């Protein structure tokens, strides 16, 4: 492979890459900071760009720190984190710069607020799935290396709740003792695919998910006995069966081995039932900051439509301000959770719709709404949605996005249909990574 020496990292790009220039190309280098001077090995090369890995640091940028993780950076790096080497204040500065690099060309920079920090910098994630592999007859778990399905084992992940590693290691020990084989993706052989966990923010309730290729799992009784005894915070153990030759983690079939398949979470004084399949933001502290801000933006007695509503965390938190509340979600378990959550919190002004957001919006927007909320997947909104919203005359749009690029595309679509930006507020939902959560507030002109 081609090697280049003495490259100066000039700035950062989306996806957490440091950018250098050489041989007439822009070189993208992970786990680097502006000011680093590095020797690299090219891993991919195209006409105008190339990707590289660091072979050696000639000089490190000032102000960096020990990442505190044995599998961060380097040739065999875990793909979970991007910026463990940077103090948290510096990470926030980098994220502010990335937001401006995406939006300044078509948005008044004065409308872009400084990023709001996460209350917790490490060990914040309340959900994790660890792929399982084996070597020399020994099972192990870890995280995928970036852009591969190579499992990189670790001692303690710096962004998951610490108990997750303890539970995962115990599952591995029990599976090894029972002679269970790790799933082999290339051969579609073996059985144990993933070990997953979802926890309440305070760690008092955890659901454990064992993902297998087949329904047969001979050590289930041993598993339930040991996990429940050693980890009393576990409230449920589920076997999920993913029979397909697929990158999708979860299959369609579940077996409840013990307890219940959901946790109960407290958010801004409300109780929420969260099925292990349902979407919930992984950083409880930052999620609470976002909900508080969104609540302040909804007018008293507004009619509110919450699209991509999940278990109802956003919509139901606004129920005391809304005259009417409609929630749309396509995951059945999430709709079931949301309905139950309305009952738990004695909310009576909410209605729920199960189905594709794009299809249901055409029907729902025939009714009158003052505010619509979007919290879509990374791909953003269907191209028809901005027109539907504008045609319905909805005066306020609250758009929460986990992808600055698709948010940029969708904002331009709303601008061309008579909406203006009131403010753009970034949040750090994912410390130690490049990812940014952004709330865009739009008003119809």
Residues carrying an active site annotation: 402
Q: What secondary structure letter does DSSP report for 30?
A: T
Burial class (CB in 10 A: 0-12, 13-18, 19+), 128: buried
Which residue in 128, 145, 121, 156 sits closest to 73, CA to CA? 145
For helices 162-177 and 220-230, what crossing angle results, to 10°? 150
CB 13 within 8 A of CB 20: no
**Quick one: which of 261, 259, 225 has its CA closest to 240?**
261
Residues 6 or more apart whose CB falls under 8 angstroms from that of 174 comprise: 219, 222, 223, 226
Confirm if 332 and 326 have CB atoms less than 8 A apart. no
Q: Alpha helices of 138-219 — where are they, by DSSP H?
A: 162-177
Q: What token pair was written down for 417?
A: 């249909």
Rounded CA separation 130/26 (Å): 33
């Amino acid at each position: 492979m081609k090697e280049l020496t003495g490259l100066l990292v000039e700035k950062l790009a989306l996806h957490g890459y440091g950018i250098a220039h050489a041989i007439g190309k822009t070189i993208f280098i992970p786990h680097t900071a502006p000011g680093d001077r590095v020797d690299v090995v090219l891993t991919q090369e195209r006409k105008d760009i190339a990707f590289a890995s660091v072979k050696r640091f000639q000089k490190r940028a000032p102000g960096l720190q020990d990442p505190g993780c044995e599998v961060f950076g380097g040739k065999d790096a875990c793909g979970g984190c991007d910026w463990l080497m940077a103090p948290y204040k510096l990470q926030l500065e980098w994220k502010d710069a990335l937001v401006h690099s995406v939006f300044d060309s078509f948005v008044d920079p004065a409308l872009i607020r400084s990023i709001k920090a996460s209350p917790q910098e490490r060990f914040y994630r309340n959900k994790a799935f660890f792929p399982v592999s084996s070597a020399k007859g020994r099972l192990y778990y870890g995280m995928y290396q970036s852009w591969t399905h190579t499992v990189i084992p670790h001692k303690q992940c710096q962004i998951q709740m610490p108990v997750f590693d303890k539970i995962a290691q115990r599952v591995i020990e029990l599976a090894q003792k029972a002679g269970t084989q790790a799933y082999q993706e290339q051969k579609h052989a073996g059985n144990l695919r993933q070990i997953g966990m979802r926890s309440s923010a305070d760690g008092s309730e955890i659901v454990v998910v064992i993902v297998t290729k087949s329904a047969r799992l001979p050590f289930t009784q041993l598993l339930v006995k040991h996990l429940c005894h050693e980890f009393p915070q576990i409230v449920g153990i589920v076997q999920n069966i993913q029979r397909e030759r697929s990158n999708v983690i979860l299959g369609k079939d579940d077996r409840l081995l013990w307890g219940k398949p959901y946790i109960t979470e407290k958010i801004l004084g409300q109780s929420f039932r969260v099925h292990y399949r349902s979407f919930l933001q992984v950083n409880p502290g930052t999620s609470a900051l976002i909900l508080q801000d969104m609540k302040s933006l909804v007018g008293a007695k507004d009619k509110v439509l919450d699209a991509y509503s999940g278990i109802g965390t956003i919509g139901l938190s606004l129920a005391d301000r809304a005259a009417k509340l409609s929630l749309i979600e396509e995951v059945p378990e999430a709709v079931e959770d949301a309905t139950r959550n309305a009952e738990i919190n004695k909310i009576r002004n909410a209605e729920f719709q199960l189905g594709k957001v794009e299809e249901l919006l055409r029907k729902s927007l025939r009714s009158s709404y003052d505010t619509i909320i979007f919290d879509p997947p990374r791909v953003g909104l269907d191209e028809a949605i901005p027109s539907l919203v504008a045609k319905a005359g909805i005066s306020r749009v609250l758009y929460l996005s986990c992808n600055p690029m698709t948010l940029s595309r969708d904002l331009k679509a709303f601008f061309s249909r008579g909406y203006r930006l009131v403010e753009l507020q970034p949040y750090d939902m994912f410390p130690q990574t490049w990812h940014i959560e952004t709330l865009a507030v739009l008003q119809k002109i």
